[in-house]
Structure 1
Amino acid sequence: MSFCYGDLISLFNQCFAASHNTRLELSDGEPIYLPADSQIDHHRILFAHGFFASALHEVAHWMLAGDARRLQEDYGYWYCPDGRDGTQQSQFEGVEVKPQAIEWALSLCCGFHFNVSCDNLNGSVEPDRHAFKARVREQALYYVEQGFPERPQILMQALAKHYGQALPTAASFSL
């Protein structure tokens, strides 16, 4: 199956441009969320270099950001770049569990292979990808059992319909 970021942009924008004044857009630079300002009248989720996985990841962060956070650049979230020590990596993974669980669900709705992102290639410690993926899976299973938040559910349904996939079940999230 071919994964065209243009389809993802179109589906996201159909779901949220009018209701949340937010658009998914391609960037030649690093991914970032930019709220509307005096020059651009809509909020923008910019994903990196046309990478489908980057778009899904950035969308997942937006899906969880509340109203106040969506008025701040990059949602005002803490971020420590690549090169983290063990404590910083643990903090990074702690804030990434929920968005990566959403990203995994969105990926399944597209039929797209999901990989957890430890995002620490130059760190002083080697991240335990398996343990982190297990934590992300537990969060995804919680969402399956308790229900996904409204915005992820809306996009999951649109993606599943477009890509001819079923909505994720507990059995969908295997290690």
Structure 2
Amino acid sequence: MITNQWFCGLSDDAKTIREKVFVEEQGFPPEDEFDVFDSQSMHVVIYDGEKPVGTGRVYHDGKTFRIGRICVLKEERKQGIGDLMMRVLLVKAFEFEPSQVRIDAQEQAKAFYENFGFRQDGERTDDHGVPHIPMCVTKETLVFKSGCGKEMHFKEIFPEKG
């Protein structure tokens, strides 16, 4: 059974997943993977049974809400875990009623985030040799797509806030 659990701050499971994906697999320096936002972020960990398989975080950086450090273990990809995680993270972020939610997406994942209504809103940057794109989503552009093609927008996702 797939479940999720929220943690205030960085849990051991979230840290382990990020080390495996960003440090070991993608080659980011370990000293740059963890930052001051980890202690003030809400982290979600997705579990397949007892096994932690993915993680991401949501936090306020002093200006806006951000989602980041989204990753799924290599052997667990292409099963909808990332899609589920983004929905959970976006619902949590929009519970705080921000005007927008931002993400610095790896360029190779841009289309994935566009599926949720994120739009590029700045110039490409480089993070340790990996191109990143600044993107944002608003309640006007937020969309959750179903497997059968139906789209749910902000008012359907948050009827009490619509």
- TM-score in same-fold range (> 0.5): no
Question: Larger relative CO (CA 8 A, sep 6+): 1 or 2?
Answer: 1
Structure 2-normalised TM-score? Answer: 0.35
Structure 1-normalised TM-score? Answer: 0.33
Q: Whose strand proportion is higher, 1 or 2?
A: 2
